[in-house]
Structure 1
C-alpha cells in the first residue's frame, strides 16, 4: 500500500489579525506571510466548504476585512 501523503504546512499566522485591515493590504500581507491562495468574498457569498491547506478566506465589507478563516 502507498504511504499516506503529508499535507504541506500552513503559515504560522492568526486569521483574526487580518480583521479590520483594508482588503488589498490584507491580501498582500497574507501572501507575504506564505498563504498560497487568498480569497476575498462579499458577506453571505455562497462558497464550497472543502478545506484547502494554504488558503486564507476574507469576508470583505466596504473594502475592509470583517471576517477571516483558514481553508
Structure 2
C-alpha cells in the first residue's frame, strides 16, 4: 500500500495584520507569505464551510480588508 502523503504546512501568519490593508496589498502579502489560494469576499457573502488547506479569506468592503481567516 502506498504511504499517505503529508500535506504541506500552512503559513504561520497573523491574520489581524491584514485588517485595514487594501485588497491588493493583502493579496500580495498573503502570496509572499506562502498562501496558495487567496479569496476576497464582500460582506455577507454566503459561502460553504468547506475547509481548503492553504487558502486565506478576506472580507473586503470599500477595497479595505475588514476580516481575515484561513480555510
* Structure 1 length-normalised TM: 0.90
**Cα distance in structure 1, aligned partners of 2:50 and 2:2:** 24
| SS of residue paired to 1:8 | coil
What are the ranges of 5 or more consecutive residues in structure 1 without an aligned counterpart?
Answer: none
| SS of residue paired to 1:56 | strand
CA RMSD of aligned residues (A): 1.2
* Structure 2 length-normalised TM: 0.90
- Displaced runs of 4+ in structure 1, greater than 6 A? none
Deviation for aligned residue 1:60: 0.1
Give CA deviations for 1:2-52 in whole Å, capped at 9, x if unaligned.
544322100111111101111111101100110000000000001111111
**Cα distance in structure 2, aligned partners of 1:57 and 1:37:** 8
